[in-house]
Amino acid sequence: MRAQHWLFFALAGMAVAAVAGLILLLTGPSASAQPIGGATYTGTHSGGGTIQFTVSGDGNQVQNLQLTAIPCDGGTHDVFPWPPSPPAEPIMIVDDQFEGTLIGLATRVTGQFPSEGSANGTFLLDLGDGPGGCQSLELTWTATVSTAPTATASPSPTPTATVMPSPTETATTTATPTATATTTATPTATPTPTGLASGWNHVCYIGPSQNIKDVLANISQDVLAAYRLGAEGYDKWFPDKPDISTITTLSPYKPLFLLLASSAAWPQQPSGSPPAATPLVQGWNSVCYTGEPKDVESATQGISGQFAVLYVLAPNGSWQRFVPGRPDVSDPVQLGRFTSVLILVTEAGGTQWAFDP
């Protein structure tokens, strides 16, 4: 009988231990923090400035990362927005941690999400020691959720639907019988095919202002997505998905990121005279260079000391980089007419890039 009691209590003890272990298993790991998808995190860094970034809706990426007032050798770098993707690789969140590095430069960010709604990490900026450059020590930062995810995306389709008819009407009105003679003669004269590769392309649209669907009609079977860099980040367009697309109209001599399933020739009809200059804002700019073919140093001489780095997407899909005063990390970049570039402007208030002949 005693043996049976002993066996009963032993089994009961094992059951209690198993339940306790299960409770620990359920409560322990599940208490580990996770990034809040769609939330904006805002905080400060040890250099005295601020940090802000957004977690993508699916919780897998850090986006729109920006730091301000970064102490450099002998001064302060006002604002550094992390490069858009492309050219930088997306900053992926894995196991509630992330890390991003700018290839060719020592600029690096790390982070983790230790508790619900909070994050911390390190940041180091290296834009060289030339004009417009900045080299900082490694800074630490902390941030908390300042804007929780809201249903901001839902209004997006409404303006898209409203604006969509507008370009179509414009296109129809332009093609009036009066202009028929002129319009027919012009296209035959100079068709300009732009060669597009399979994968990402950063191209300059040179045609007249019109609906994006009409612009891409000739290569619609190859296009997977289109992106356009604006003041608030990327606008986007997906074939047959007007509910999530935010681009409706394309303007002449504006750059576009196109993702293609296979290579294609994109016929474009030039619209009027290309601009002789373009305004640049402080931060990242996507620009269609319309000057004469030049090496990048000569082409950017007029804005020397006002930008930190410039990227050009090569035909093979690799990014070529030019950092003023840093030949050790720069590629021999040549700018042709209608080359699209990404340029990080450091001048407070922005500047203007004149494409001298």
Distance CA 319, CA 315 (A): 9
Residue 181 has pLDDT above 90, yes or no: no
Average per-residue pLDDT in the chain? 79
* Structural domain spans, the chain: 40-147, 277-354
Of the two residues 230 and 69, the one the predictor is more confident about is 69
Q: Which residue has the tokens 């606008």?
A: 235
Whole-angstrom distance between the N-terminal and C-terminal Cα of the chain?
105
What's residue 131's pLDDT?
A: 57
- Whether the pTM exceeds 0.85: the reply is no
Which of the listed ranges 151-165, 220-234, 252-266 does the model predict with the highest average pLDDT? 252-266
Q: Tally the C-alpha atoms within 13 A of residue 258's C-alpha that lie toward its C-beta.
A: 31
Neighbours of 161 (CB within 10 A): 12
Residue 199's pLDDT band (boundaries 50, 70, 90)? confident
User: What does each C-alpha distance from 288 to 196, 285, 337, 338, 353 come to in angstroms?
Assistant: 16, 10, 9, 6, 11
What's residue 285's pLDDT?
A: 93
Of the two residues 206 and 133, the one the predictor is more confident about is 206
Residue 357 has pLDDT above 70, yes or no: no
Q: Which of 260, 248, 176, 259 is nearest to 214 (CA)?
A: 248
Distance CA 35, CA 58 (A): 10
Residue 170's pLDDT band (boundaries 50, 70, 90)? very low
Asked whether 282 and 327 are in contact (CB, 8 A), the reply is no
Least confident of 47-61, 122-136, 318-332: 122-136
What's residue 87's pLDDT?
A: 61
Helix (H, G, I), strand (E, B) or coil at 161: helix
Question: What average pLDDT score do residues 265-289 get?
Answer: 92
Query: What sign does the CA torsion over 200, 202, 208, 211 have?
Result: positive
Q: Which residue has the tokens 């191209």?
A: 203
What's residue 248's pLDDT?
A: 94
Q: What b/e string do you get for 273-295 counting C-beta neighbours within 10 Å, with b at 16 or more? A: ebeeebebebbbbbbbbbbeebe
Cα dihedral 74, 75, 79, 80, rounded to 10, equals: 0
Phi, psi of 305 (to 5 degrees): 80, 0
What's residue 128's pLDDT?
A: 67
Distance CA 289, CA 337 (A): 6
What's residue 103's pLDDT?
A: 59
User: Which run of H or of E encompasses 3?
Assistant: helix 2-30
Question: What average pLDDT score do residues 28-39 get?
Answer: 69
What's residue 286's pLDDT?
A: 94
Question: What average pLDDT score do residues 249-265 get?
Answer: 93
Residue 191's pLDDT band (boundaries 50, 70, 90)? low
Question: What average pLDDT score do residues 119-130 get?
Answer: 84
Distance CA 67, CA 127 (A): 14
Q: Which residue has the tokens 């898209």?
A: 160
Q: Which of 344, 339, 295 is nearest to 203 (CA)?
A: 339
In this predicted model, what pLDDT tens digit does every residue of 154-169 receive, in sequence order?
333 333 332 322 333 3
Give the rounded percent of residues in the chain with a pLDDT score beyond 90: 47
What's residue 250's pLDDT?
A: 95
Distance CA 37, CA 60 (A): 8
What's residue 189's pLDDT?
A: 42
Amino acid at 7: L
In this predicted model, what pLDDT tens digit does every residue of 301-343 receive, in sequence order?
999 999 989 999 888 878 889 989 888 889 999 999 999 999 9
What's residue 80's pLDDT?
A: 83
Residue 15 has pLDDT above 80, yes or no: no
Residue 122 has pLDDT above 90, yes or no: yes
Residue 196 has pLDDT above 90, yes or no: yes
Which CATH code fits 40-147? 2.40.128
Question: What average pLDDT score do residues 136-160 get?
Answer: 70
Distance CA 223, CA 218 (A): 10
Between CA 196 and CA 205, with CA 200 as vertex, the angle to 5 degrees is 55
What's residue 164's pLDDT?
A: 28
